[in-house]
Structure 1
Amino acid sequence: MKNIKEQMINAELIDPHSWVVRYADYLFTYAVSRLNDEEVAKDLVQETFLAALERLDKFEGNCSEKTWLTAILKYKVIDVYRKKARGLDQEMKKVKNGEEEDEFFYPEEGNWRVEHWPQEMGIEEPDALISKEFMEILQNCMKKLPQLWLAIFTMKHMDEEETSEICSALSVTSANFWVIIHRTKVNLRACLQKNWM
């Protein structure tokens, strides 16, 4: 009896016929901002709707449709990160061996090389961060990152995931995580300095 009542309540809370109109643009923007790939983002939005339809009976009504659909999409994005991260053994060896460290720092001192010294970005005003041009340049810089670095950076700074969850999802150690985050920030800053200033 309770199960039938719950299904009736869920049926009133959910309207799958309106999902595309109400949520497709939002979900697409969410996915493309994390993957930098419009085709994959489109596919994931479709997969999200299909997965939600298959799991209608699991929706408990504890959140809005939008939140529920976004949660499904979030896990699909993480799955894409995992798949891309699997083939990156060479990249992880470079990270572990610190081969790229010399490019930005004096190895013996740990200080910045003069040519990579942090500079003002010219985006110190809060309104500048909203600038469409800046966001386009940032997205282009993010596209240049290795896939694992992009996945970790996005999960940490866009999705605000816990470090332990990211390490578990992408099968990286905590030490590698922090090295990758550091190098990602260094690379993004260098790219932004070159293309924004």
Structure 2
Amino acid sequence: MSKPALQWLDEHGDMLYAFALRRLRDPHLAEEAVQNTLLAALEGADRFAGQSSVRTWLTGILKFKIIDVLREQQHWQLAPLDAELAHSVGDDDLFAEDGHWANAPVDWRDPSRELDNKQLRALIDACIARLPRRMAQLFWLRELNDEPAGAVCENLGISSANMYQLLFRARQTLRVCLTEGGRDAELS
């Protein structure tokens, strides 16, 4: 391995691996994505103009490598929504008869400050990890990486209607998990 690649690995490897692992939820796939990122960075090092930090540049490459891994995983089957999960995230549980929240959402005060809280981040990651694999990957791509809907549908081989239905289910399931504080209730 060349000197720049070793330096990049030393300085940014842990962050890149954590980034990939949160999105792919498979240690082997995350390692492979990071390795492919470093190889691509070495091949394109002469085109790096230095207009961003090396970390930002490597993360950008990694995002595309993660999408490549997701494309290779087209054999995924959508997990059927079982009756217990459907009931746990149904509209009937969320709203009272008068249309107001049955249980008001928790006051998050300053969301940007709270999101920086490591415990909250760990809770969110734990709740996302309980989603079915495809739903979690869709949520990461669309909601957390802010990928365009059309690109997400194409990459995952789903229709836009299916994407929006899966995102709705993911949001409702995450709401339940976060409201319960991530207790060990099985969500997937």
Kindly provide the CA deviation profile for residues 134-170 of structure 1, in whole angstroms up to 9, marking residues without a partner as x.
Answer: 2212111111111111111101121111101101111
- Residue 180 of structure 2 aligns to a residue whose secondary structure is helix
Show the 5 A alignment for 1:74-113: 74-89=63-78, 91=79, 94=80, 101=86, 103-105=88-90, 111-113=91-93
**Alpha carbons of 1:81 and 1:62: their partners in 2 closer, same or farther (altered >3 Å)?**
same
Deviations along 1:2-47, one digit per CA (max 9) or x if unpaired, are xxxxxxxxxxxx9445312332233223223323444543332222
RMSD: 3.2
Tell me whether 24-33 or 178-187 shows the greater mean CA deviation.
24-33
The structure whose Rg is larger is 1
In the TM superposition, residue 83 of structure 1 has moved relative to its aligned partner by 3.9
Q: What runs of 5+ residues in structure 2 fail to find an aligned partner?
A: 96-100, 184-188
Within the candidate set 138, 153, 167, 1:167 is matched to 153
Letter in 2 for 1:48: T
Q: Within 5 Å, which residues of 2 pair with 1:25-174?
A: 25-56=14-45, 59=47, 61=49, 63-64=51-52, 65-89=54-78, 91=79, 94=80, 101=86, 103-105=88-90, 111-113=91-93, 117=102, 119-126=104-111, 127-174=113-160
1:92-128: CA deviations, max 9, x gaps?
xx47xx99655533xxxxx433699453235334333
TM-score by length of 2: 0.74
1:184: which partner in 2? 170
Question: Tell me, what secondary structure is at the counterpart of 1:113?
Answer: helix
Question: Aligned residues, how many?
Answer: 173
Deviation at 1:73, TM superposition (A): 0.9
CA 1:125–1:62 in 2, change beyond 3 Å: closer, same or farther? closer
Of Structure 1 and Structure 2, which has the larger fraction of its residues in helix?
1
Runs (4+) of structure 1 moved beyond 6 Å? none
What are structure 1's unaligned runs of at least 5 residues? 1-13, 106-110
User: 1:119 and 1:81, CA in 2 relative to 1: closer, same or farther beyond 3 A?
Assistant: farther
Q: Could you tell me the TM-score, scaled by structure 1's length?
A: 0.71
Kindly provide the amino acid, as one letter, of the partner of residue 112 in structure 1. Answer: D
Identity of aligned residues (%): 28
